[in-house]
């Protein structure tokens, strides 16, 4: 059973409400004629918010029950574990009260705000709902989709004097591996008809320092008019040699902490301005899910989750973008895999499949094709 019903039924489904009070109160008309309270995503797209929100500790939240009703999903609440499940024929979402971690179709996903149990109802932040969960569950509700991607920019992490992570024992450098995977992926995508641009096609740094290097990569991407961007990396946690697995990152939405900033001792890194890439948050989420799914399924790596970060390489991009931390060079077993061309080929194939899945989803979301042009008018000359 789910906690007691939330008394929001009286609200019109499309009338968003942003309240200062902790508990839902009746809808108040906008104070200014024509003013419509909107959510972050809705504001960016000129739409109204999909669900009414209440403010809890300065963050706008929507009720899971409302989410379930909107999406037509069945809700199950288990009081003993404070765990809620939403399910329908095609998807299953599992979450826990007070936690940021969600299992979406079995894949781990970290929210930007913990869920909140209040007044017998469970809430998710509006930003998480609109920029992270809705895209992964019902991209058709997001509004006009980007065109099916044609131009893909691949970004082999590091290069030149920046070696990235290393496994000295096995003689592995991240910058060499990322370039190799990117070049393999380029071939696969080109064979499928994509125009593919690499931010670097040899062992070089793109700027005199890291910051300039990142900006240069973003600039190359924007100049190429990329439809999507994938940055490829290998992970490391020395002296920890046990940790293994795959993480997929998108840029952190405005007004949220990055995933890392939730760790003990880390500073709050909330940004209050929208970065250029934030305009594509929902589509980056959809892309992240597709990439993460394919890598986890293909390489059978441990699922370390879909996360967000304030990556300087992603910040200025004019397209949906993800950064994949494929496997750990500090983990002996994963490093030995990464050292083999066959494994890197498999990785490239998984990334290509992820891009393919994303493109296919966008293809299905495109508006119906226009009618074929009318027959040409009869020629005026005989
Ligand atoms: Zn890296």
Residue 2 included in any domain: no
**Residue 50: what pLDDT?**
84
Residue 16 included in any domain: no
Sign of CA dihedral 287, 289, 290, 292: positive
Q: How far is the CA of 97 from the centre of ligand 1 (A)?
A: 33
The tens digit of pLDDT for each residue in 339-376 reads 999 999 999 999 999 999 999 999 999 887 655 555 55
48, 67, 117, 125, 138 from 58: Cα distances, Å: 20, 20, 15, 11, 27
What average pLDDT does range 285-294 have in this prediction?
Answer: 98
What average pLDDT does range 178-195 have in this prediction?
Answer: 98
Q: How far is the CA of 299 from the centre of ligand 1 (A)?
A: 19
Residue 257 included in any domain: yes
Confidence of residue 8 (pLDDT cuts 50, 70, 90): very low
Q: How far is the CA of 380 from the centre of ligand 1 (A)?
A: 66
Same domain, 319 and 210: yes
The tens digit of pLDDT for each residue in 157-173 reads 999 999 999 999 999 99
| pTM for the predicted model, two decimal places | 0.86
Range in 120-124, 247-251, 315-319, 373-377 the model is least confident about: 373-377
265 contact partners, CB below 8 Å, separation of at least 6: none
Residue 308, SS3?
A: strand
What is the number of domains present in the chain? Answer: 2
Beta-carbon count within 10 A of 161 CB: 10
Residue 294 included in any domain: yes
Residue 261 belongs to what domain range? Answer: 151-365
Same domain, 179 and 137: no
Confidence of residue 3 (pLDDT cuts 50, 70, 90): very low
Range in 14-18, 131-135, 278-282 the model is least confident about: 14-18
Q: How far is the CA of 173 from the centre of ligand 1 (A)?
A: 10
Q: Which residue, of 142, 171, 190, is where some domain finishes?
A: 142
**Residue-level length of the chain:** 382
What average pLDDT does range 196-216 have in this prediction?
Answer: 96
**Residue 18: what pLDDT?**
30
Q: How far is the CA of 178 from the centre of ligand 1 (A)?
A: 8
Sign of CA dihedral 120, 87, 125, 53: negative
Q: How far is the CA of 300 from the centre of ligand 1 (A)?
A: 21
**Residue 12: what pLDDT?**
28
DSSP annotation of 309 reads E
Residue 218 has pLDDT above 80, yes or no: yes
Q: How far is the CA of 142 from the centre of ligand 1 (A)?
A: 32
Residue 309 included in any domain: yes
Residue 331 included in any domain: yes
Residue 106 included in any domain: yes
Same domain, 261 and 301: yes
Beta strands (DSSP E) in the chain are: 54-56, 59-63, 74-78, 83-87, 92-96, 101-104, 107-110, 116-118, 121-125, 151-156, 166-167, 172-173, 195-198, 228-235, 246-251, 303-309, 321-328
Same domain, 252 and 302: yes
Residue 274 has pLDDT above 50, yes or no: yes
Same domain, 96 and 233: no
Same domain, 211 and 337: yes
Q: How far is the CA of 163 from the centre of ligand 1 (A)?
A: 9
Same domain, 165 and 125: no
Q: How far is the CA of 119 from the centre of ligand 1 (A)?
A: 44
Range in 5-9, 53-57, 69-73, 124-128 the model is least confident about: 5-9
The tens digit of pLDDT for each residue in 34-78 reads 333 456 666 655 566 789 899 999 999 999 999 999 999 999 999
Residue 142, SS3?
A: helix
103 pairs with which residues across the strands? 94, 108
Q: How far is the CA of 180 from the centre of ligand 1 (A)?
A: 14
Q: How far is the CA of 174 from the centre of ligand 1 (A)?
A: 7
**Residue 17: what pLDDT?**
28
Q: How far is the CA of 273 from the centre of ligand 1 (A)?
A: 26
Q: Which residue, of 90, 110, 142, is where some domain finishes?
A: 142
Q: How far is the CA of 279 from the centre of ligand 1 (A)?
A: 25
Q: How far is the CA of 155 from the centre of ligand 1 (A)?
A: 11
- For residue 126, what is the domain's CATH number? 3.30.457.10
- For residue 213, what is the domain's CATH number? 3.40.630.40
Q: How far is the CA of 65 from the centre of ligand 1 (A)?
A: 40
């Amino acid at each position: 059973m789910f906690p007691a019903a939330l008394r929001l039924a009286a609200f019109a489904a499309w009338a968003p409400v942003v309240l200062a009070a902790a508990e839902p109160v009746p809808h108040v008309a906008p104070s200014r004629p024509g003013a419509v309270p909107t959510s972050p995503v809705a504001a960016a797209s000129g739409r109204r918010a999909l669900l009414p929100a209440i403010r809890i500790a300065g963050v706008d939240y929507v009720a899971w029950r409302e989410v379930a009703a909107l999406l037509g999903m069945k809700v199950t609440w288990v009081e003993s574990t404070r765990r809620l499940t939403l399910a329908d024929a095609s998807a299953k979402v599992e979450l826990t009260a007070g936690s940021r971690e969600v299992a979406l179709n079995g894949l781990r996903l970290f929210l930007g705000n913990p869920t909140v149990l209040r007044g017998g109802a469970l809430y998710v932040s509006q930003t998480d709902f609109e920029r992270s969960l809705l895209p992964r569950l019902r991209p058709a509700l997001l509004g006009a989709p980007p065109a099916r991607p044609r131009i893909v920019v691949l970004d082999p992490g590091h290069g030149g004097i920046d070696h990235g992570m290393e496994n000295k024992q096995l003689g592995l450098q991240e910058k060499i591996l990322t370039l190799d995977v990117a070049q393999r992926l380029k071939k696969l995508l080109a064979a499928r008809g994509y125009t593919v641009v690499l931010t670097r096609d040899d062992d070089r740094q793109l700027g005199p320092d890291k910051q300039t290097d990142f900006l240069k990569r973003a600039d190359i991407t924007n100049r190429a008019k990329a439809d999507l961007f994938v940055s490829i990396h290998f992970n490391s946690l020395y002296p920890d040699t046990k940790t293994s697995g795959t993480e997929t990152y998108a840029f952190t939405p405005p007004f949220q902490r990055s995933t890392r900033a939730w760790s003990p001792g880390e500073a709050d890194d909330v940004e209050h301005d929208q970065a250029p890439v934030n305009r594509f948050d929902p589509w980056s989420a959809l892309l992240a899910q597709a990439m993460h799914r394919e890598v986890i399924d293909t390489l059978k790596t441990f699922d370390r989750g879909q996360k967000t970060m304030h990556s300087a390489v992603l910040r200025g991009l004019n397209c949906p973008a993800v950064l994949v931390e494929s496997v750990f060079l500090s983990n002996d077993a994963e490093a030995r895999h990464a050292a083999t061309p066959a494994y890197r080929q498999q990785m490239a194939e998984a990334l290509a499949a992820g891009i393919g899945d994303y493109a296919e989803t966008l293809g299905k979301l495109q508006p119906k094709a226009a009618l074929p042009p009318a027959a040409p008018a009869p020629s005026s000359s005989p």
